[in-house]
Structure 1
């Protein structure tokens, strides 16, 4: 059986600070309704460059400017990543510089999603297809090398923007954590067959990489 997405591992210089920021911004109810935990852990090295993955907050439940104002009050700041005014979304950084977007109302891709609409990722179509098979989540978007998956139960999407991929600058701070629903050794073999790469084994599980080389962990 496919693995279950149990958590997003979020490395931080100050895990308590970021945990408090994101809990206050998302709200306890919205955070609990994601279908997976957000687990803040100490970062093993300083942050360098952009993350491979970031949050897209919708304006389906709150006004866009209300969310932006609330984020700024909690310690976020505006971030210029080359976005154009007509694109409609607002790019911010959390107190440790991790990027996230507040998407405009009426965005069709995030229609029907909750407050945390998507984990938007830098990645190829092959990686989107890998994660669809790994989690048993259907592809809900597959156009022009861009892909997205979503749990059959609904909730946040995970999307990949397709090539060209941004150059890596250090370690990305966001990693998916899976829980095997059956025998873990058999699940490792299945993930390797799907295109994962084995990296390491430690007391916290099996460390693997998806087809684009992004680390993830299987418990």
Structure 2
């Protein structure tokens, strides 16, 4: 097991990346739903950015891929609400923008499970005190066979301390600032079968040695992933449960 007390690495979380058949269409959906803006549009990516007051210091990045979505995503977003009326309003807005309701066998729960126009699952949560300072996105949720072990690995990568535990079911990492989304690891025994359509990017700070940062991440338990070409400036790796992520160049 990776010990949570081990020295953290010199990297931080910078992006949540979503594969898309139509990146601009999907970016517009999420920007409208969250009240954010499209900040960048290029041939190989479209970025959606939160206002500074929201506390989210990452980008939502949509990249074009030819493959269709096959299975439930192993990483999804939970949206925060402040009141039950606000929760209902978020659900209605998502449906009006082209989202749909999803039945994953969740039964009678206080949150609402939806999908965006390309089938990416997300939840609209009922009001919860834990997410009062989170902003529009309450949490980035990662399915995990061993939430404690995976959370320890990502705590080292991101510098986020453990801020919540729910038995052996969930471990949540809180941003050091106390604002923005939680990074949560939720027990799920499903077997990973295909490349994740949603992944995380981390990056070392400006001026750091990229190769050294990659080596440190690998030494902490990551493994190389056979994705992309050799000329990419970033490195694609997998965490201890096979979830792909990228170590970007220093920034």
1:27 corresponds, among 14, 35, 39, to 35
- What is the CA-CA distance between 1:171 and the residue it aligns to? 2.4
- Matched with 1:147 is 171
Does structure 2 conserve the Cα–Cα contact (< 8 Å) formed by 1:60 and 1:113? Answer: no
Offset from partner CA, 1:28-72 (integer Å, 9 cap, x none): 278234110011001242211100011101112771100001111
- SS at the partner of 1:67? helix
Deviation at 1:3, TM superposition (A): 0.8
Contact 1:60 1:115 in 2 (8 A): no
Give 1:23 deviation, angstroms: 0.3
Q: What's the secondary structure of 1:168's corresponding residue?
A: coil
Q: Distance in 1 between matches of 2:223 and 2:28?
A: 34
Give CA-to-partner distance per residue, 1:136-176, whole Å, 9 cap, x none. Answer: 111112342321112111210110112x4212342221111
Q: Deviations over 1:170-200 (max 9, x none)?
A: 2221111111222111111211121111225
1:198 and 2:198 aligned: no
The verdict on how the C-alpha distance between 1:144 and 1:44 changes in structure 2, with shifts beyond 3 A counting, is farther
Quote how far apart the aligned CAs of 1:21 are: 0.2
1:113 to 104, 129, 134: 134
How many angstroms apart in 1 are the aligned matches of 2:24 and 2:233? 20
TM-score normalized by the length of structure 1:
0.92
The equivalent of 1:94 in structure 2 is 116
Query: What is the CA distance between 1:212 and its match in structure 2?
Result: 0.6
Q: CA deviation at 1:84?
A: 2.2
2: distance between equivalents of 1:51 and 1:43? 15
Q: Which moved more, 1:165-174 or 1:3-12?
A: 165-174
CA distance in 1 between counterparts of 2:90 and 2:75 reads 20
Shift in Å, 1:204: 4.0
User: 1:70 is paired with a residue of what secondary structure?
Assistant: helix
* 1:14 matches 2:22: yes
Give the equivalent residue in structure 2 for 1:183: 209
Tell me how far apart the structure 2 counterparts of residues 67 and 23 of structure 1 sit (CA, whole Å): 13
Contact 2:157/2:202, CA 8 A, preserved across alignment: no
Quick one: distance in 1 between partners of 2:73 and 2:231? 24
Partner of 1:133: 156
User: Scaled by the length of structure 2, what TM-score is found?
Assistant: 0.80
- Give structure 1 regions of 4+ aligned residues with deviation exceeding 3 angstroms: none
Task: Please say if residues 177 and 216 of structure 1, whose CA atoms lie closer than 8 Å, have aligned partners that are also in contact.
Answer: yes
Note the aligned Cα RMSD (angstroms).
1.8
Contact 1:7 1:38 (8 Å CA) reproduced: yes
